[in-house]
Amino acid sequence: MMRTDEQPTITGYDRRMYAIMNRREAAPLYATEARRRTVVVAHIVLTAAGIACELYSVLGDERWATFGLLGLLLPWCVATGVINGATRGLLELRVRALDERQRAEKNRVAARAQYVMMWLLLAATVCTGLAGFAGVEIEGLIFPVLFSVFVVHWLMPLWLAGLMAADEPPEEDLPDEEV
């Protein structure tokens, strides 16, 4: 058991993941708040399209939907990487690899995601119940609603972290050294 005064051991995996999540090649894609919001919205749209394709391929037995899902996969992964870069891997890095400020930010994102999901679950429950009262066969709604809510629950912390990420301070121009 680890005592509270001991520092957690940072492994080679933690160092590699930290280096990957802090690469700056994609920084222009998330340098401003507007760009970060655009990437998050694009990720939400790609996710919604992916959910629709998955549901069409499973419930509607449509082959084109499977190919649509495969076509959405690459841009979805790129958008995920951009959001992870904007947050410096806040949600992907292990807690032991984060400093105190990052741990507090991760907890804040998790708390806000839980709050938002609570209201989304309530809305899904109410809408499904109202559909049942309106005569819609609820059995046909259970899987699509549960699948969609699961995916949103899984991605909500990433989306909120991307929306909550602050602009990086501008790099200071260092004076040229005299030789």
- 93-142 pLDDT per residue, tens: 888 888 899 999 999 999 999 999 999 999 988 988 898 899 888 888 88
pLDDT at 177: 53
pLDDT at 128: 86
Number of neighbours of residue 81 by Cβ within 10 angstroms = 16
With 0-12 CB in 10 A as exposed, 13-18 as middle and 19+ as buried, what is 84?
buried
Strands annotated E in 43-95: none
pLDDT at 94: 87
Number of neighbours of residue 43 by Cβ within 10 angstroms = 21
Which portions of the chain are predicted below pLDDT 70?
1-7, 169-179
CA distance 59 to 41: 26
Q: Of all residues in the chain, what percent carry a pLDDT higher than 90?
A: 47
pLDDT at 179: 44
